[in-house]
């Protein structure tokens, strides 16, 4: 897993829990997309 700042890690953990508990496939996909957007914001050069 890529290095993340503590706040990002908390957000990732929260999203992961929501993904697991998602009531529908649509909700799950939307949450996965959010997680991907968060991960793409991580600047690995400055981590």
Q: Domain-by-domain residue ranges, the chain?
A: 11-40
DSSP codes, 9-43: HHHHHHHHHHHHH-SSHHHHHHHHHHHHHHHHT--
Q: Count other Cβ atoms within 10 Å, centred on residue 22.
A: 15
Quick one: pLDDT at residue 1?
45
pLDDT tens-digit profile, the chain (47 residues): 455 556 668 899 999 999 999 999 999 999 999 999 998 887 666 65
pTM over 0.85: no
């Amino acid at each position: 897993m890529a290095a993340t700042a503590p706040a990002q890690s908390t957000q990732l953990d929260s999203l992961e829990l929501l993904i697991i508990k998602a009531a529908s496939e649509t909700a799950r996909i939307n949450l996965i997309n959010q997680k991907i957007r968060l991960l793409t914001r991580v600047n690995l050069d400055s981590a």
